[in-house]
Amino acid sequence: MVSEELLCNYVTLLTVVTLRMLDPPNDEDFMREALRQAQKAYAADEVPVGAVVVRAGKIIARAYNQVELLKDATAHAEMLALTQAEAAVGDWRLTDCDLYVTKEPCPMCAGALVHTRIQRVIFGCPDPSAGAAGSVMNLLQMPTLNHRCDIGSGVLQDECAAILQNFFRKRRSEQEPKIANPENLS
């Protein structure tokens, strides 16, 4: 015979699981996955930027910056994610898709986002030197182009910025002259 306490625990567990299933993933959940992609880039010694494409609440593409690996200046996370998403959808039009990226897109990626007609672009941290989603220019919402993307920003901003700062700090320390270390004088 099942005890009342056991039955009670079972019902609680079932409620929690059901609520989880009903609770749709939000911007932070998707940005968290983009951040996981950025961490893969970091581990591969690439500038740590990650991106995912979401359609109908599901991730259909995930990618990270692979410029060094592919020796291709166009291999930004967004570009790779867009190509994957086009393959998944079976069309170059991604009008019902959103793209999450850890850093504000550059002009090249912003151009590609407009060409693929992405519905909404959500980025983590701004890029004050090259950002093309409002920081330096806003190519995502040019009145004369045939498509404009909605923009969301600042999702997990601190974490998205920290991984980039850590990467460049590490790179600078590796490039500093080793003469500063007396052991290297011999």
Task: Give me the active site residues, please.
Answer: 78
Shortest CB 3 distance to Zn ion, Å: 59
Say whether 4 sits in a helix, a strand or coil.
Answer: helix
Is the alpha carbon torsion for 110, 112, 87, 46 positive or negative? negative
Q: How many residues does the chain have?
A: 186
User: Binding to Zn ion by residue 106, rule CB under 5 A?
Assistant: yes
37's CB contacts (< 8 A; 6+ apart) are 50, 51, 52, 62, 63, 64, 77, 102
**Nearer Cβ to Zn ion, position 8 or 70?**
70
Shortest CB 178 distance to Zn ion, Å: 33
Q: Residue 101: beta bridge partners?
A: 51, 123
Alpha carbon distance 24, 130 (integer Å): 33
DSSP 5-34: HHHHHHHHHHHHHHHHHHS---HHHHHHHH
Say whether 98 sits in a helix, a strand or coil.
Answer: strand
Number of chain residues interacting with Zn ion (CB under 5 A) = 4
Shortest CB 65 distance to Zn ion, Å: 8
**Nearer Cβ to Zn ion, position 22 or 72?**
72
What stretch of H or E contains 23? none
Stretch that binds Zn ion, among 25-33, 90-98, 107-115, 170-178 (CB under 5 A): 107-115
**Nearer Cβ to Zn ion, position 9 or 74?**
74
Tell me the per-residue interface mask from 47 to 86 with Zn ion, x by CB under 5 A, - otherwise. Answer: -----------------------------x----------
Stretch that binds Zn ion, among 102-110, 136-144, 156-164, 178-186 (CB under 5 A): 102-110
What is the contact surface with Zn ion in residues (CB under 5 A)?
A: 76, 106, 108-109
